[in-house]
Amino acid sequence: MDFVRPVEAIVPGAQGRVLAVLSQTTAELNQRTIAQLSGVSQAQASRVLPALVELGVIERREVPPSSLFRIVREHVATRAILALARSTDTVLDELGEMAKSLPVPPESVIVFGSFARHEAGIDSDIDMVVVRPSDVDEDDERWAASVEQLRAEVRRLTGNPVEMLEVSIDEARSRLRGRSPLWTEIGRAGRVVHGASLDELRLTRHG
């Protein structure tokens, strides 16, 4: 999935670009502004906007000498467009639910990298740290199956490759308190979707 341009990824061409712009605001915009923000020509906008008005997806209000347009959020088709626009946040929410329902839930799941920064394109990995609970051995078969289940479910949810970094609680604590560039980024910009927060992991000591 292209999470940078999710609407355009599913609705290609000028129509998708226009819908992407209008889905990001509740304000009324004129045709010139819509064309500029969406990167389409005035001619393309003049063809797309009336068609969307006819479908009822957007509404037009005449304010001479121009017309103002905005998306109709109550429209059944618009709901799907808005869901696409919010797809990154939806994935983060569902990731937490997936982790919580695993046979052996992780102590914490942290998403980092381009996805956490809302910069994940179609070829981007979904980068995750999966923290193993203190009472679960590294070679526990149920734990290994849970990790692989999570990997498969995230792949199906997003369509993107999934890269997982599995660590124990003590390893997470040590690395978060260290100075490696990777873990500095995780500690600064990682998004915890399940379990212990980054601050809680930094303070936790076992054994």
Q: Which amino acid is at 27?
A: A
Residues 102 and 198 in one domain: yes
**Residue ranges making up the domain that contains 188:** 86-203
Do 167 and 70 lie in one domain? The reply is: no
| pTM, rounded to two decimals | 0.82
Same domain, 197 and 103: yes
SS3 sequence of 63-104: ECCEEEEEECCCCHHHHHHHHHHCHHHHHHHHHHHHHHCCCC
202 in Cβ contact with 145 (< 8 Å): no
29-30 sheet: strands from edge to edge: 29-30, 66-71, 58-63
pLDDT of 96 reads: 96
Q: Rounded distance, CA 194 to CA 2, Å?
A: 24
Q: How far is CA 153 from CA 8, 97, 158, in A?
A: 24, 11, 9
Q: Do 147 and 106 have their domain in common?
A: yes
What is the Cα–Cα distance from 64 to 204, expressed in whole angstroms? 64
Q: Would you give per-residue pLDDT tens digits along the chain (207 residues)?
A: 999 999 999 998 999 999 999 999 999 999 999 999 999 999 999 999 999 999 999 999 999 888 999 999 999 999 999 999 999 999 999 999 999 999 999 999 999 999 999 899 999 999 999 999 999 999 999 999 999 999 999 999 999 999 999 999 999 999 999 889 999 999 999 999 999 999 999 886 655
Instruction: Write down how long the chain is.
Output: 207
Q: Where does a domain end: 17, 51, 84?
A: 84
Residue 203's pLDDT is 84
Asked if 96 and 73 sit in the same domain, the reply is: no
Q: Which of 56, 84, 112 is the last residue of a domain?
A: 84
**Same domain flag for 101 and 182:** yes
